[in-house]
Amino acid sequence: MTRFQSKLVDRLNPYVPGEQRHGNSVTKLNTNENPYPPSPAVLQAITAVTGDDLRRYPDPEAIALRKALADYEGVSVDEVYVSNGSDETLGLAFMAFFTGKKPLQFPDISYSFYPVYCDLFSIEPDPVALGEDFSLSLDAFSSDAGGIIFPNPNAPTGMAVSLDAIESLLQRYTEGVVIIDEAYADFGAESAIALVKRYPNLMVTRTFSKGRSLAGMRVGAAFAQAHLINALAAVKNSFNSYPLDAIAQAAAVASIQDETYYQQTTLRIIDTRVRLTEALAERGFSVLPSAANFIFASPGPTSPSAASLFKTLNEADVLVRYWNKPAIENWLRISIGTDEEVDRLLDTIDQAASVAS
């Protein structure tokens, strides 16, 4: 009954994730999950967790995982934060750095959780328009903003900005926190983690969901100088001092330690991305240059519209993502699956084109 809820609930427009349809007939290319399982070392680490580990609270500081990440990225442990997925990190960061400040800037076509968090935490959004080619110019961000956040690569476009452009922004913008959401950086973007030691207002967030195949485990991380990490931890500890469970911590450490497997699977995804991009281009699609584990594609003039193609694919149990919004109403976001999944996608597209003609 609405009379029992606060006015906050009335104004929220919650984030809507991609459909989670299950079954052997489903080709699921709509939620940017890794098509390959995690490293076998991850499964071994999970089975090695004991009953004694589970009856006790997990390490609230997640020291083993933070040390593994610090060693991997060349930073110190006090410059690393971990959480239940990068979305949790972002939510806490919005509270820690953007509430009560000037408007927050982010791309107008981007991760749709950003405006949701603005609503939730009473932050005024100030979207910045992408170029006509969907590129993001960091020069468009104001030096007077209350904060800046953007994904690199961007979502849903998949396009990345260079490390030089990011450093130019950090040199110009010093009054607030800049968060670079690197959820998809495993697949081709230049990471900004190397800049953390030089810029006290930079935070970089990462996830184990995409490149490391742990979407079902919910592990996220942030990298920043210690004063930003401490602020993030203060907000986290005001909610829950034990956010990341023992199994997730063990699994994430094992994933980091198997670099060979990580490199092999990410390269397979990149190779399939290239193949899918070329195949769609041959069919008259426009495909944006992607540095992510998905592509953003628009059907050509002789193909069914994106809305029509989305419906046809959906009915065939081939799931992709579609938003009926201005500027992107004729675009589809397609996650990179296995080669077999991509072949089924292309076959279904060909069938739809044949019927349309």
Identify the pLDDT of residue 51. Answer: 95
CATH of 40-257, one of 3.40.50.300, 3.60.70.12, 3.40.640.10, 3.40.50.720: 3.40.640.10
Place of tokens 């950086």: 185
Domain boundaries, the chain: 19-37+260-356, 40-257
Query: How much of the chain, in percent, has pLDDT values that exceed 90?
Result: 87
Chain mean position to CA 285? 25
CATH of domain 19-37+260-356: 3.90.1150.10
CB 181 within 8 A of CB 86: yes
Q: Please, which residues bridge with residue 202 across strands?
A: 178
- pLDDT tens readout for residues 171-225: 999 999 999 999 999 999 999 999 999 999 999 999 999 999 999 999 999 999 9
When pLDDT is cut at 50, 70 and 90, the band that residue 8 belongs to is confident
Q: CA-to-CA distance for 113 and 179, rounded, in angstroms?
A: 14
pLDDT tens figures, 113-165: 999 999 999 999 999 999 999 999 999 999 999 999 999 999 999 999 999 99
Helical segments of 283-338, H only? 306-315
Burial of 12 (C-beta count, 10 Å sphere; 0-12/13-18/19+): exposed
- pTM, to two decimals: 0.94
Mean residue pLDDT of the chain comes to 94
3-12, 107-116, 347-356 — which one is most confidently predicted on average?
107-116
Please tell me the predicted confidence (pLDDT) of residue 27.
92
